[in-house]
A and B are shown apart, each in its own frame.
Chain A
Amino acid sequence: MGPRESISPETIASAFLERGFVCTGEVATTLYLAERLGKPLLLEGPPGVGKTEIGKLWAEFHRARLIRLQCYEGLDESKALYEWAYGKQMLYTQLLREKTGELLAGAGDLDEAIRRLGGQADAFFSREFLLERPLLAAIASDDPVVLLVDEIDRADEEFEAFLLEVLSDYQVSIPELGTIRAKRPPRVILTSNDSRDLADALRRRCLYLHIDYPGFEDELRIIENRVAGISKTLAETLVKFSQSLRKTDLRKQPGIAEVVDWALALVVVGAESLSRETLRRTLGALLKNREDLDRVMSELSRFRS
């Protein structure tokens, strides 16, 4: 893959397919529009349907650096945007103590000393002491960048509001340094597992794409693409099995990523069918919860049928 001069939904879909990602028409069209309109893209859907993967592949597609901001509760500006390298500042202060002494030598009073230091203090609040966090790194980058804001629904609402500001103008204000504007606006992809409702304001600034679990045919194509050496029969059987699991109220329904992992596990153990023994040995790749495992193993005939 590489940067495309004449980008189209078809080129996006085929490039993604080269990397083993089955890209539906809707995904390809929405990525194309995000590129053409210069808008952030909000991907929403259940876990494990390939939202993050799209971000990674989008970066590869453009031969751009992927900068990922993993959101979590309590994430704030200092972790997402920038912070001053306090330790480094302290170290430099210690090392330059003698130099500082020389600078202050002969200062008659406190005002004089402060005035002399004032001219020098800016050195400690320069880009050299600035720790760029993902958002600033994406904005300040000279090279093309894809900024992946992953699982934005995990972050606090305050952070969401802050992000809104950044995404509006692609600029940040650092009091000590002034405003830093993006030389080239980064391509932004936000993902959400829909665990909480995002603000309308944020949604409005983005193109929106809801990705659901794929249908049987699509999932089969994904498995065949991602898992080399899997037999058609086994692939069909495990996809059917996974789809039937999604129709039940398990605590955690298996996503595509888990199904791929499970398929890989089945290939590794040389399974040819979904026998009870094979399932017992490999189902941990698909289901990540003890209760779900027990339930599926106890009602195996129901899911296999």
Chain B
Amino acid sequence: MIAGLQRFFDEIRRAGVRVSPAECVEAVRAVEQVGLEDRERFRQALRATLVKRAMQRKSFDEVFDRFFVGPARGRGRKRGQPGAGAADGARTSTRSVGVGPPRATLATTPTSPPERPSREGAKRKSTEHVESERLERNLREVREGRRQRWGRLRHVSVSRIESDARPELDHRVKPALSDLRRPASAEQERELARAVRRLVERIRLRTGRRMRRTRTGRPFLRRVFRDSLRSGGVPFRLPHRRPRLRTPRVVLLVDVSWSTARAAGLFLEMAGEFLRLGRQTRVILFVDRPVDATEKIALWLGRGRDRSFRELLGSIEGLSLEAPSDYGRVFHSLLVSPRRPRGRRTVFLVLGDGRTNLFDPLDWALEEIAEGCGASLWLVPEPFASWGRGDSALPLYLPRVDAVVEAGDLNGLASGVAALIRRL
């Protein structure tokens, strides 16, 4: 809890509220007294100890709302609609506070969907957060073609921005599977895995980009003479090479910290399917450092998933699930690694929420990796409303990749796969 609050103190200092170490201690003591169950009381305890002037209240409330997202916050989707659910509230708040069971009660518990926020409330909240607005504006401009690109970013698939972006999966995915943060039964998990398999199957059936561009392939000059000699050059025919199917290499970089655990499980299913299909796939897992888990996952799949996903993660050497996520370090390690993802045929795929725990994001390292690859794609398993809030460094990372997809649910994932296909 203290680590989570410490991040909040840093945040509030950045907002211009001067908070001394003694006041931080008082705030922690106050929170211990009131607990985390009641969000408003939690806010009052922090405010009474950290705010010392009336003029600071607004800044405090803004930072608090951004950092500890409440249960009523959402994107205004209907309940049961794909993408609605526990959503950003539980994610940001629980992660920010960073303690055990009580934190779940601070915001929405995963089993109880949040109340639908009022349109006015949602509108007011959105105007409060300039950074979030800026991020949204940039993404919207890229998507609508008003801007060619934002940094490298050319393709955006975010449900809040494009409500029509949901492909044909809507009618066949059950609502229970729609939100990757909701707990699911074993049967639901299996169903989800089957859905992922279908998605990956689409990738397998997809022809390569080079094939799509030209139906006939490149001109086959050597045959021009041979064919011309045969007919004397009349009529002249230009033969073409038969196009070869080029197999892209896919490097998946997957955040498996507990905050993205379920989404990570789903993505590993996807990675597994890639491996099964014989694609040149590397799976790199990370929390605070990257670990190449390709062989382990292939073995696990080969044995018919003989143990749970979490057990598998626990057995991977060098992977510390308890560590705080450190994206900057991961990108830098990859960049300087001899097995750095590179090559025109390489698709670099990142799955993660971009929450750096306030470590240095080192976004330039991501940019260098992305520049060395044919395509780079970021799938965010977090609702759009949470992007860039709290310790999220997504506004720094997203301009460095080619495409970004909100993949908080299976439909989002389908969009992600579609975007991936376009780049294969």
Sort chain A's interface into a size bin.
Answer: 20 to 34
Q: Which residues of B contact A26 (CB under 8 A)?
A: 44, 47
Complex Cα distance, B47 from A172, in Å, reads 31
B186 touches A (CB below 8 Å): no
Segment of A132-140, A144-152, A207-215 engaged in the interface with chain B: A207-215
- Determine whether the beta carbon of A33 is less than 8 Å from that of B34: yes
Q: Which residues of B contact A33 (CB under 8 A)?
A: 30, 33-34, 45, 48-49
| A29-B20 in contact given A9-B41, A39-B26 (Cβ < 8 Å) | no
- Determine whether the beta carbon of A194 is less than 8 Å from that of B23: no
- Determine whether the beta carbon of B52 is less than 8 Å from that of A37: no
- Determine whether the beta carbon of B54 is less than 8 Å from that of A25: no
Q: Which residues of A contact B53 (CB under 8 A)?
A: 203, 208
Q: Which residues of B contact A261 (CB under 8 A)?
A: none
Q: Which of A39, A207, A209 has the most CB of B within 10 A?
A: A207
A290 touches B (CB below 8 Å): no
- Determine whether the beta carbon of A209 is less than 8 Å from that of B48: yes
- Determine whether the beta carbon of A30 is less than 8 Å from that of B52: no
Interface residues of B, CB < 8 Å — how many?
21
- Determine whether the beta carbon of A194 is less than 8 Å from that of B54: yes
Q: Which residues of A contact B49 (CB under 8 A)?
A: 33, 207-208
- Determine whether the beta carbon of A210 is less than 8 Å from that of B40: no
Q: Which residue of B lies closest to A202 (CB)?
A: B52
- Determine whether the beta carbon of A29 is less than 8 Å from that of B22: no
Q: Which of A9, A194, A210 has the most CB of B within 10 A?
A: A210
- Determine whether the beta carbon of A25 is less than 8 Å from that of B40: yes
Q: Which residue of A lies closest to B49 (CB)?
A: A207
- Determine whether the beta carbon of B52 is less than 8 Å from that of A29: no
A-B contact count (CB 8 A): 53
- Determine whether the beta carbon of B48 is less than 8 Å from that of A208: yes
- Tell me the minimal C-beta distance from B30 to chain A in angstroms: 5
Q: Which of A19-46 contact B (CB under 8 A)?
A: 25-26, 29-30, 32-33, 36-37, 39, 42, 44-45
B57 touches A (CB below 8 Å): yes
A204 touches B (CB below 8 Å): yes
- Tell me the minimal C-beta distance from B92 to chain A in angstroms: 23
Q: Which residues of A contact B18 (CB under 8 A)?
A: 200
Q: Which of B85-139 contact A (CB under 8 A)?
A: none
B401 touches A (CB below 8 Å): no
Q: Which residue of A lies closest to B20 (CB)?
A: A204
Complex Cα distance, B22 from A200, in Å, reads 13
| A210-B54 in contact given A26-B44, A29-B41, A29-B45 (Cβ < 8 Å) | yes
Q: Which of B48, B51, B54 has the most CB of A within 10 A?
A: B48
Q: Which of B20, B23, B30, B51 has the most CB of A within 10 A?
A: B30
B344 touches A (CB below 8 Å): no
- Tell me the minimal C-beta distance from A199 to chain B in angstroms: 10
B209 touches A (CB below 8 Å): no
- Tell me the minimal C-beta distance from A208 to chain B in angstroms: 5
Select one of B20, B40, B44, B54 contacting A44, CB under 8 A. B54
B218 touches A (CB below 8 Å): no
Q: Which residues of A contact B23 (CB under 8 A)?
A: 204
Q: Which residue of B lies closest to A208 (CB)?
A: B52
Q: Which residues of B contact A39 (CB under 8 A)?
A: 26
Q: Which residues of B contact A30 (CB under 8 A)?
A: 44, 48
Q: Which residue of B lies closest to A39 (CB)?
A: B26
Select one of B33, B44, B51 contacting A37, CB under 8 A. B33
Complex Cα distance, B23 from A208, in Å, reads 11
- Tell me the minimal C-beta distance from B24 to chain A in angstroms: 12
- Determine whether the beta carbon of B52 is less than 8 Å from that of A36: no
Q: Which residues of B contact A44 (CB under 8 A)?
A: 54
Q: Which of B24-66 contact A (CB under 8 A)?
A: 26, 29-30, 33-34, 40-41, 44-45, 47-49, 51-54, 57
Complex Cα distance, B219 from A133, in Å, reads 104
Q: Which residues of A contact B41 (CB under 8 A)?
A: 9, 25, 29
Q: Which residue of B lies closest to A27 (CB)?
A: B44
- Determine whether the beta carbon of A37 is less than 8 Å from that of B26: yes
Q: Which residue of B lies closest to A210 (CB)?
A: B54
**What are the interface flags for B213-256 relative to A under an 8 Å C-beta threshold, 1 for contact and 0 otherwise?**
00000000000000000000000000000000000000000000
Q: Which residues of A contact B47 (CB under 8 A)?
A: 26
- Determine whether the beta carbon of B44 is less than 8 Å from that of A25: yes
- Tell me the minimal C-beta distance from A153 to chain B in angstroms: 13
Q: Which residues of A contact B52 (CB under 8 A)?
A: 42, 200, 203-204, 208
| A210-B57 in contact given A9-B41, A29-B44 (Cβ < 8 Å) | yes
- Tell me the minimal C-beta distance from A160 to chain B in angstroms: 14
- Determine whether the beta carbon of A207 is less than 8 Å from that of B48: yes
- Tell me the minimal C-beta distance from B129 to chain A in angstroms: 23
Complex Cα distance, B18 from A265, in Å, reads 46
| A204-B22 in contact given A32-B33, A194-B54 (Cβ < 8 Å) | yes
Q: Which residues of B contact A194 (CB under 8 A)?
A: 54
Closest 4 CB pairs of A and B: A203-B52, A29-B44, A210-B54, A30-B48
User: Can you pick out 16 interface pairs between chain A and chain B where the beta carbons lie within 8 Å of each other?
Assistant: A25-B40, A25-B44, A29-B44, A33-B30, A33-B33, A36-B30, A37-B30, A37-B33, A45-B54, A194-B54, A204-B23, A208-B49, A208-B51, A208-B52, A208-B53, A210-B57
B residues with CB within 8 A of A? 18, 20, 22-23, 26, 29-30, 33-34, 40-41, 44-45, 47-49, 51-54, 57
Not counting A39-B26, A204-B23, A204-B52, a sample of 11 additional A-B residue pairs whose C-beta atoms are within 8 angstroms of each other reads A9-B41, A25-B40, A25-B44, A29-B34, A29-B41, A30-B48, A32-B34, A33-B34, A208-B49, A208-B51, A210-B51
